[in-house]
Structure 1
Amino acid sequence: MAVLRWGILGASNFATTYMGPAINAARDAQLAALATSNPEKAPRFQAFAPDLLVHDSYEGLLADPSIDAVYIPLPNHLHVEWTLKALEAGKHVLCEKPMTLQADEFDRLIAARDSTGLLAAEAFMIVHHPQFIRAKALIEAGTIGELRHVDAVFSYFNTDQGNIRNQSAAGGGGLPDIGVYTFGSVRFVTGQEPISVPFAHIDYENGVDVFAQVAAKFPDFTYSAMVSMRLFNRQEVVFHGDKGVLRLTCPFNAAVHDQAEISIETAGHTRRVERFPGVNHYVLQVEAFGASVRDGSPYACPLEFSRGTQAMMDMVFEAGGRPD
């Protein structure tokens, strides 16, 4: 298989703006099909993929024998259902995060992946970005000494009640949407899993979490995080060791929120900055997915990793309480 032919289930704005163009720009990949019940949305994709085949149903796309892989940007509560259907139809699957809303739901996906022999993964693009690959290497090399504490922050302002992130029935909420990043990024860089979540304060509006403050304990370090859909845009991850500080600016929306950088502060008040301009982690994600499909090379974000992030999410909700 030289070129992986992709289809997209659903004409979401995110797929139009980011993942559709990324699939089309990636090496050895082609955006070949779109499934949407609204034909008026197709021209936005055809503007950069003029040969795009448009299906009027998700089932029609999954039945298309020319499609090798599907990208699923549907509302959160539909991710498990359509991932399973896509695997049953013989398609590789890249599904938006959160792939599930409970950790144990991953068990069905892992079983389906293993039984079909296909690749299925959550679209956790940051693990493909050189900023995070470099941060992981620096921590493992002991650049800041022994890691003792991590702070992670991700916030944006969204009060649009028509947006699925503000709809509980669609699996909305700040934690499912962006808590995945504040939790998963630290797990990726450190290779550690949380032991406990002794504190979580969660504010809800209409059954959707809009603010969360979290404290967790990992084997070798403490952790604090803030996630919100009701605050001004901010994102940062800080790794604090006994011999230095490693700070990631713009760790989650690289080249959109700001430029991705790593700041390293060590003894003697020395500080150096490493910058990663012009990197598109969505394109890198598609290329890594294709490489894994073609030659079986290890994928940086297997379902088992994503299950661990959702398990931490479940711990936070247990500590902070679900809405009444």
Structure 2
Amino acid sequence: MSMNQASHILGKSIDDTSRMLRTLDPVETFGAHKTRTRYARDDVKRLAELLQHREPIDAFSSDSGIPHHGIEQMICLKLLDQLDDAAILAGHKVRQLDGRSINALAERLAIGSLDVEPNGWLRLTDAMKAVGGREKPWGPAYAMMLDEKSLPFYWGSCGERGRIIAEDIFVSPTARDRLQEMDFCKADYPEFKFDDCLTVRDATRLLNIHDTKFSKIRQQHFATAVTADGRLAKRAVIDAARDWISPGELGARTGRTPHECFTELYRTDLPRTLLGWPRTDAERHMKLRASDR
């Protein structure tokens, strides 16, 4: 079939279709003065099926509440699949997930969930605030919930097929300690290309802060770390997270409210920024175990 026919089937512009089809072997090329190229109909239909199931990582992250680095961990741990077909990679700038693997993960969550939410449990997103100074172990956490079944959970929206929302997953308060012990080692996946930038939303999650004042935080702490597309260099954010600890993280680790932690540290002579207090000094004052570096 021609480029125009393929563009219609794929639902893509001619430019996008051209980039994708260049990765395929043409079945026919003809024309004395103007070259015309045709492609196998089966190849184009295969691409159309892949496109039908694709889910951009940005969209899934926004919908699920799982940051990009957490989704990357889940891909490495085989909890999610990415579309790594050469044509898909050529036609899209951001990582594309296979929507079928999202549906499969949702089904596994529905099966593994407790039937009734126990009293006193907290959202997984709140429990994750106990992890600071580094990327959060989203992949290992889901693996423990599903593969090892050693982290009991209740999924409140398990009836909505294909929609995975981290805020709807509840875990025991003891999970905060378990999460602090978890780690994901990128060195174990040398072939995987991890993103070295963070969206503003992902940066606030890693820092355990709200995004309401992030414009000021960006000016004070990350003015030189902003990339051309408006994201932040991940290394700069992690370095800041290692140096500073927020009331939100302190609250998650102590079982107190962030306001109580803020009030107690405000009365000390420790220096404070919009990111919080010096991590080492604040942990010592609150009698907390030092964060893993």
Fold-level similarity (TM above 0.5): no
Greater gyration radius: 2
More strand by share: 1
TM-score of the pair, normalised by structure 1: 0.27
TM-score of the pair, normalised by structure 2: 0.29
Q: Higher relative contact order at CA 8 Å, sep ≥6: structure 1 or structure 2?
A: 1
